[in-house]
Amino acid sequence: MDQFSYLYQKWRKILNNAALVTAIFTLLLEIIVSHLMYNYLPGMIESSVPDYVLYYIILPSVSYFLLVFIGRYIMNQKRLSDNVKNYFSILILTFQIFIIACVHNVFVFTSILYVIPIILTIIYSRKTMTNIITLISILLMIISSIVAVNELQTNRIFHAIEIFIGVILIIGCSLITNLLTYIEKDKNNIIKTSAFKQLQLEELIKCDPLTGLYNISSFYNTLDLSIKKNKMPLTIAVIDIDNFKTVNDEWGHDKANDVLIYIAAQLQYCCSTQGHVFRYGGEEFAIVFPNTSPAHAKTMVETAQRNIYNHEFDASSKIKITFSCGIAEYPSSDYNAHDFFQLADKIMYQAKFSGKNKILIGTPSSSAVDT
């Protein structure tokens, strides 16, 4: 929604600038036309010069610029909703056209100008707005036409036909605009659906289908990002299930999968408040702990280790599930994500080779210790 709000704000500014350009252009055009008419068609102007300047140049121009000012004032009101501001951005142009139609009612084409704000409602893709602006445009066109009849004393039947044609044009434009709005919404829905499916596919690619954990590529992305954002102390834990081949051979593949799923769930339960858990591959897991000390990380991993050890799996033989874990803190900027993982992985193998079912903390310059 924030993106739509920003987009609407951008278009409101564009429409207000368009209203300003309309005001300036109309003022210049009125000055030029009045000059040409006084010099080459003096018979067309029945009023005196002061009256003509007042009623055909000054008052209309003041109205144009006043509408622009009102539009900018409304646009800057934080208490008003985007929807209200969107309506006013169109209405300002609509009323400018109304003034043009009233002042220059001698020209029939001014009635056609009412289709412009109707077409502009496509920007906001709202059928209700299009219909409301259509009704307002028809009402204003009728009012400006009545003004023309009273001022020019033209044939009322002929003018009624002009009004009827104008209304038909406005309604036709409104129907086309609504149709285009429907098409635009359908296109947007297709784009949204495609984007959502793309996101789902990307998530599936990032995730391990068995445990639901993010996979090795996501691990390195997260670790690399944590290093770049300097989330120190940065700690990682590398976990490998002990004797998993024996579990697989004795319990079978399906039951071994249940073990992996349970271990993943316990690691998530015990470590996810501070860390991000990943399935690195096979029976190996990795956890990234941003802003976490190795000692704190070890406490969380130990909780998961106890829960897994005490859990009784429904299997033909009783095997206690244990794991070996190596924990390391990010040593220096000389280490990239892969080097950092290799350090923790090396510590994990020290835990495995020193008797298994251990959690060791180590550094590049010292032996791993079971603190």
Residues 27-64 pLDDT 10s: 998 888 888 877 777 766 667 778 888 888 899 999 99
Rounded Cα gap, residues 137 and 53, in angstroms: 27
Q: Is the full-model pTM beyond 0.75?
A: no
Could you tell me the sign of the dihedral formed by the alpha carbons of 344, 349, 354, 358, in that order? positive
Q: Where are the domains of the chain?
A: 2-197, 216-369
- Between 310 and 166, residue with greater pLDDT: 310
Q: Into which CATH architecture does domain 216-369 fall?
A: 2-Layer Sandwich (3.30)
Residue 104 CB coordination number (10 Å): 19
Residue 3 CB coordination number (10 Å): 7
Whether residue 106 is predicted with pLDDT greater than 70 in this model: the reply is no
- Could you give the percent of the chain with pLDDT greater than 90? 57
Q: How far is the CA of 87 from the CAs of 8, 38, 193, 249, in angstroms?
A: 11, 40, 29, 71
Q: Which amino acid is it at 365?
A: S
Rounded Cα gap, residues 305 and 102, in angstroms: 84
Residues β-bridged to residue 285: 239, 279
Query: Does residue 233 have a cis peptide bond before it, meaning omega lies within 30 degrees of 0?
Result: yes
Rounded Cα gap, residues 236 and 230, in angstroms: 14
Rounded Cα gap, residues 75 and 17, in angstroms: 12
Whether residue 260 is predicted with pLDDT greater than 80 in this model: the reply is yes
Confidence of residue 243 (pLDDT cuts 50, 70, 90): very high
Q: Give the HSE-up count for residue 310: Cα atoms under 13 Å, Cβ half-sphere.
A: 7
Mean of the per-residue pLDDT values of the chain: 88
What are the tokens at 344? 């923790």
Whether residue 169 is predicted with pLDDT greater than 70 in this model: the reply is yes
pLDDT for res 68: 96
Residues 123-157 pLDDT 10s: 988 899 999 999 999 999 888 877 765 555 556 67
Confidence of residue 192 (pLDDT cuts 50, 70, 90): confident
Rounded Cα gap, residues 344 and 346, in angstroms: 5
Could you tell me the sign of the dihedral formed by the alpha carbons of 40, 43, 48, 52, in that order? negative
What are the tokens at 227? 């290093």
pLDDT for res 199: 80
Residue among 192, 25, 165 nearest 93 (CA)? 25
Rounded Cα gap, residues 198 and 339, in angstroms: 32
Residues β-bridged to residue 369: 361
**What phi and psi, each to the nearest 5 degrees, are found at residue 64?**
-60, -50
